Chains A and B, each alone.
Chain A
Amino acid sequence: MAARARGWLAGVVALLWMSQASQAQDPVEYTVKAAYLTKFVPFINWPDQALPPGAPVTICIVGEDPFGPALDKIAAAAGAGSRPLVIRRIATTDTAETQILARCQIAYAGDPLTSLDVIDALKGKPVVTVTDSGMRARGIISFVMRDNHVRFDIDDAAAERSGIHFSSKLLELARAVNRRSEGP
């Protein structure tokens, strides 16, 4: 999406906060990322077996949690619409946890090691893996930082393999998209 390359991403909250806190990026950056995690939900379609209509959408934070209680607050506010949001925190990617992991709809992994495990564990499963910026391992959605703004890339090909469908509106906002194979 060359056209999208010009665009820049910034939540209203992020804009407000960034004007004051320039260097101390972490709290603002992760507040924005937390908001994004919830905002992806209306633009993603999961298969019905994975997510029956009306069922709550589970967002899992695997390993280190960089968001803290802010995420719960944002999720509570965002979940007031048609679908409630549930935040689960999973410590490790042990075998026992893998079962739980597969029932998430969005799985965020913050550190490099967990990211690789999560991507491996959920390959082909209808779970949107989200990886943080500055890491080699890249999930279906990977945050990227550009000019101090939070943006994201989408691996639509991997999403296709997992049976997940992204709204074209969201695809248009992504900085880069790994296109899915052209269907017949």
Chain B
Amino acid sequence: MKRWVGWPMIVALVAAAFLLTAGIAIARYEDQLYTTQQIRDVTEQAQILAASVSAAVSFGDRGAAEEYVNALKVNPELRAAGVYDGSGKLFARFSRGSALPRAMTLVPAGWDPLTDAGTLTVKVPVAAGGKTIGAVAVIATTEPAQRRLARYIGLILLVTMGALVIAVLGFSQAAISNRAEQLARVNARLKQEMDERQKTEEALRQSHKMEAIGQLSGGIAHDFNNLIMIVKGSLGLLRKRLGPEILQPRAEQYLISADEALDRATALTQRILAFSRRQPLSARPVNLSLVVADMNALIKHSVGEEVKIETALASQWQTLCDVSQMENVILNLAINARDAMPDGGVLAIGTRDVSLASAPPSVAEFIPGDYIALSVRDTGVGMSGEVLQRAFDPFFTTKPLGKGTGLGLSMTFGYVRQSNGYLAIASIPHRGTTITIYMPRIPESET
């Protein structure tokens, strides 16, 4: 509404003023034209009458002159017409309301048309043989100036109003389409925001789920670990008490397999603890580029000949982390990538320094700042949306039974979160998967 009260209104008003002025000018011109035209018309009629009555005036035939004069009665515009003889006396006439002078002087100065109070008087000489022998006077009605003015003003107003209405319609139309456009833009933005919000909510829910699972499994693993310690301690004491001579022949192998099972249980609980961020970490400042570079041979050995390895190590910043755990994580991701590329492919590992103002995709509860991004990308089978949703869930695996524990990615997730970093995952089915670890940069003052 504001827009339309602004300049378009001014333009409309200016246009209206212009139309009004033009209308007045045209009306004035028309009026002048009308007056001259009428003078010409009436003069013509008077001249015709003068030419017709010349003989009648010459021979003093009043009857013939009256017949000519009366012929002008058919023109309703004419109020009176008269013929004057050589001495200037009124000789023949007809009159409708307007009085003719009884006599007139036949001097050239008297031939000018005379406009007065709604009447137009025209006088022309009657000539015969090159001599002026009389005169003709014709009085015509003119439309009063006020009435003509009123008519013109009415016309001008009508035209102006019409133009204004068109202008108003045009501008309101423009305003409406403008509004519609704005609405469409707002709608598009709303939709985009809704989509973003949905994604954020999804990430948050995922994060809460991992939190809950982590707490539960972490608690269980912790208690289990204590129980395993007790069993392990008890088994050691039992071995000492019984001595080798009793154990040797019959029971040694049972103790050994029990010990082995306990070791496996310990490893399992360690992994669960890692996922639930309860593992003890010995963090120190490191450059992740160097960590990856040191692992080059190990990774090459792990993924085999089929997979081509590309590294782009651009990161210069340092982060605080447990190096051996980080190595585990990187190795784990490399092996996952290899498993996703049974027919070979490219494994790309890269590090770079990024300053992030907002959360990367699929990351929730993000704190903006400087990060070192370590990404592991494969050109493998990728993941469907459903699988992607559960990728970090403990014990969730797409590998055949007995091949994977379903703890690799969940452990990675737990470790990264425990190190105040973030884990982002992106995948397109049949195109590949990219997992990116964002580790916080240590401010220079702390190193």
Given A12-B60, A169-B52, the answer on whether A43 and B67 have CB atoms closer than 8 Å is: no
Chain B nearest CB, measured from A166 CB (Å):
10
Q: How far is the CA of A173 from the CA of B68 in the complex (A)?
A: 12
Given A42-B128, A81-B129, the answer on whether A11 and B54 have CB atoms closer than 8 Å is: no
A173 in contact with B129 (CB, 8 Å): no
Tell me the interface secondary structure of chain B in the complex: mixed
- Tell me if B178 is interfacial: C-beta within 8 Å of chain A: no
Interface string of B312-355 (1 = CB under 8 A from A): 00000000000000000000000000000000000000000000
- Tell me if A136 is interfacial: C-beta within 8 Å of chain B: no
Chain B nearest CB, measured from A8 CB (Å):
6
- Tell me if B12 is interfacial: C-beta within 8 Å of chain A: no
Given A6-B63, A169-B54, the answer on whether A12 and B128 have CB atoms closer than 8 Å is: no
Q: How far is the CA of A78 from the CA of B58 in the complex (A)?
A: 11
A7 in contact with B60 (CB, 8 Å): no
Interface string of B27-71 (1 = CB under 8 A from A): 000000000000000000000000010111011111110010000
Given A3-B67, A172-B64, the answer on whether A11 and B59 have CB atoms closer than 8 Å is: yes
**B contact residues around A170 at 8 Å (CB):** 55
Q: Residue among B52, B54, B59, B64 with the most chain A CB within 10 A? A: B59
- Tell me if A36 is interfacial: C-beta within 8 Å of chain B: yes
How many positions in chain B have a CB within 8 Å of any CB in the partner chain?
Answer: 20
- Among A7, A15, A43, A167, which residue has its beta carbon within 8 angstroms of that of B64? A7
Given A8-B61, A12-B87, A14-B60, the answer on whether A41 and B55 have CB atoms closer than 8 Å is: no
Chain A residue, CB-CB nearest to B53? A169
Given A80-B131, A81-B129, the answer on whether A9 and B52 have CB atoms closer than 8 Å is: no
A11 in contact with B60 (CB, 8 Å): yes
- Among A3, A14, A173, which residue has its beta carbon within 8 angstroms of that of B56? A173
**B contact residues around A167 at 8 Å (CB):** 55
Q: Which B214-270 residues sit within 8 Å CB-CB of chain A?
A: none
A83 in contact with B130 (CB, 8 Å): yes
- Tell me if B432 is interfacial: C-beta within 8 Å of chain A: no
Given A3-B67, A173-B55, the answer on whether A83 and B129 have CB atoms closer than 8 Å is: yes
**B contact residues around A10 at 8 Å (CB):** 60, 62
Given A6-B63, A173-B64, the answer on whether A12 and B86 have CB atoms closer than 8 Å is: yes
B63 in contact with A7 (CB, 8 Å): yes
Q: Ordered nearest first, which 6 A-B pairs have the shortest CB separation?
A: A82-B130, A42-B129, A169-B55, A7-B63, A81-B130, A81-B131
